[in-house]
């Protein structure tokens, strides 16, 4: 368990003198509302609006988590220390007392941590470890939207030496911003969804005959092409999806989760694969599942600043695969022409001296190219790279 006292406290302290909504400046509230609507299509404007709302409420940090149909999550935050989102995602989310209460509360009902928890607040793991580790104390939040498949939760936090949120402040926030948040959020989520699908179209996932999904490190599905959706329905006994997470059957407990985390590891991602052999139904004898780290430039589905992986699922075949197309390598991982040639020669069973000889370059140059290929593809060894290339071999197959 991570020690809360070792958490990052490097964020400069800028205590906010005013602890309430500055109702005298209607022009300021109007400017924030304008930025909010501009932020439907523009992230910088959206972030300015969140920062403005934080300032007007005397908050050190403000977080807004929204989702559409429970599967596409958009998380926006301002003022939180660097690394706070990762610590929350990786560990402290399971102790988030406030979010659990907001999910039960009616829409629009404020939750105020110190008031609602009472004496329990001093013993609560989430607040005493996670919040105090960031020098944060007072916290208030509510479900701002629960309508037509869209759900959103807002949380505001103050420094330890600031007072608890007063009812009058929260009521003023509702008067100033709540109706506008409820209008802007569904539009923003839809724009994010369309932008994500547009980004994935760059690699032609939707046109491939292979079943392809994009998952995060928790194996939660962020995108599935048509072939994948058909396969998930046809082989639900072998590829069940529970709570949005892909959970292949017939593997050692936790094996797929380990592969997903390795493929989505920050800075040291690793391709992997597994074979599913319990698909006797409907002529499925075995399925090969490959997990390939996605290039950071293509991670348009990412709700948090974290890597994701491409999952390829197809019937297992013993025959040797043709190499992937050079154009696909350049598009997916921005390999140079020279790096592409080295990667393809390696896939075709050439050793490094053979590659140097075939390309009329030195061994040192080959190793330099290979090092850059590893960095760009998120692989760490020649074997790892060959597994990734094998997985990409049919990406641009015609439907």
Q: What is the pLDDT of residue 26?
A: 58
Q: Which residues pair with 136 in a beta bridge?
A: 159
> Residues spanned by CATH 1.10.10.10 within the chain?
319-399
pLDDT tens over the chain, length 399 residues: 344 334 333 333 443 334 444 444 556 888 898 888 888 877 888 999 999 999 999 999 999 988 776 555 667 888 888 888 888 878 888 899 998 899 999 999 999 999 999 999 999 999 999 999 899 999 999 999 988 778 899 999 999 999 999 999 999 999 999 989 988 888 887 777 666 655 554 454 555 667 888 888 899 998 888 888 888 988 888 899 998 899 998 888 899 999 999 888 876 777 788 888 654 444 445 788 888 887 654 544 444 456 788 888 877 654 456 788 888 888 778 899 999 999 999 888 777 888 988 899 999 999 999 999 988 888 888 877 887 787 777 554 433
Q: What is the pLDDT of residue 5?
A: 38
- Please give the CATH number for the structural domain made up of 202-318: 3.30.450.20
Q: What is the pLDDT of residue 164?
A: 93
Q: Measured between alpha carbons, how far is 363 from 267 in angstroms, rounded to an integer?
A: 26
Helices (H), the chain: 26-38, 43-56, 84-90, 97-104, 113-117, 125, 132-133, 167-173, 179-201, 226-234, 255-263, 326-333, 337-347, 352-359, 363-377, 382-392
Asked: is 4-197 a CATH 3.40.50.300 domain? The reply is: no
> Residues spanned by CATH 3.30.450.80 within the chain?
4-197
The pair of three-digit structure tokens given for residue 307, joined into one six-digit string: 């890597």
CA Rg value for the chain: 24
Give this prediction's pTM: 0.49
Nearest in space to 219 (alpha carbons), one of 247, 190, 194, 196: 247
Q: Measured between alpha carbons, how far is 143 from 195 in angstroms, rounded to an integer?
A: 25
Q: How many CB atoms lie within 10 A of CB 389?
A: 23
Which residue bears the tokens 């370059």? Answer: 361
What's 138's DSSP letter? E
Contact (CB, 8 A) for 65 and 72: no
Q: What is the pLDDT of residue 171?
A: 93
Contact (CB, 8 A) for 144 and 54: no
Q: Measured between alpha carbons, how far is 101 from 208 in angstroms, rounded to an integer?
A: 43
Q: What is the pLDDT of residue 284?
A: 46
Contact (CB, 8 A) for 40 and 188: yes
Q: What is the pLDDT of residue 327?
A: 82
Contact (CB, 8 A) for 196 and 223: yes
SS3 label, residue 177: helix
Q: What is the pLDDT of residue 32?
A: 92
User: Do strands 136-147 and 111-112 pair parallel, antiparallel, or not at all (unpaired)?
Assistant: antiparallel
Pick the CATH number of 319-399 from 1.10.10.10, 3.40.50.720, 2.60.40.420, 3.30.450.40: 1.10.10.10
Helix axis angle, 337-347 to 326-333, nearest 10°: 120
> Residues spanned by CATH 3.30.450.20 within the chain?
202-318
């Amino acid at each position: 368990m991570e020690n809360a006292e070792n958490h990052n406290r490097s964020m400069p302290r800028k205590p906010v003198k005013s602890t309430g909504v500055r109702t005298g400046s209607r022009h300021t509230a109007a400017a924030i509302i304008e930025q909010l609507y501009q932020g439907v299509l523009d992230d910088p404007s959206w972030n300015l609006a969140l920062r403005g709302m934080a300032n007007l409420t005397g908050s050190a940090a403000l977080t807004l988590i929204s989702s559409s149909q429970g599967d596409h999550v958009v998380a926006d935050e301002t003022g939180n220390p660097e690394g706070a989102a990762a610590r929350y995602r990786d560990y402290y989310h399971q102790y988030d007392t406030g979010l659990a209460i907001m999910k039960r509360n009616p829409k629009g009902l404020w939750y105020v941590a110190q008031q609602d928890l009472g004496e329990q607040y001093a013993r609560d793991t989430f607040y005493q470890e996670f919040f105090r580790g960031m020098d944060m104390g007072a916290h208030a939040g509510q479900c701002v939207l629960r309508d037509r498949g869209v759900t959103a939760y807002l949380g505001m936090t103050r420094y330890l030496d600031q007072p608890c949120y007063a009812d009058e402040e929260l009521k003023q926030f509702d008067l100033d911003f709540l109706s506008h948040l409820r209008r802007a959020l569904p539009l923003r989520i839809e724009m994010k969804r369309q932008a994500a699908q547009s980004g994935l179209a760059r690699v032609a996932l939707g046109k491939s005959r292979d079943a392809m999904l994009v998952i995060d490190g928790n194996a939660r599905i962020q995108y599935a092409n048509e072939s994948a959706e058909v396969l998930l329905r046809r082989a639900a006994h072998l590829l069940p999806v529970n709570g949005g997470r892909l959970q292949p059957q017939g593997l050692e407990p936790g094996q797929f989760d380990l592969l997903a985390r390795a493929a989505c590891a920050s800075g040291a991602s690793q391709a992997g694969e597994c074979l599913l052999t319990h698909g006797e139904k409907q002529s499925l004898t075995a399925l090969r599942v490959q997990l390939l780290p996605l290039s950071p430039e293509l991670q348009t589905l990412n709700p948090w600043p974290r890597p994701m992986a491409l999952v390829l699922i197809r019937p297992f075949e013993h025959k040797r695969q043709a190499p992937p197309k050079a154009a696909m390598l350049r598009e997916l991982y921005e390999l140079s022409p020279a790096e592409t040639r080295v990667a393809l020669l390696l896939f075709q069973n050439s050793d490094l001296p053979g590659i140097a000889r075939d390309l009329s370059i030195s061994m040192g140059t080959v190793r330099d190219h290979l090092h850059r290929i590893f960095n760009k593809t998120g692989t760490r060894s020649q074997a790892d790279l060959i597994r990734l290339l094998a997985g990409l071999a049919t990406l641009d197959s015609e439907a």
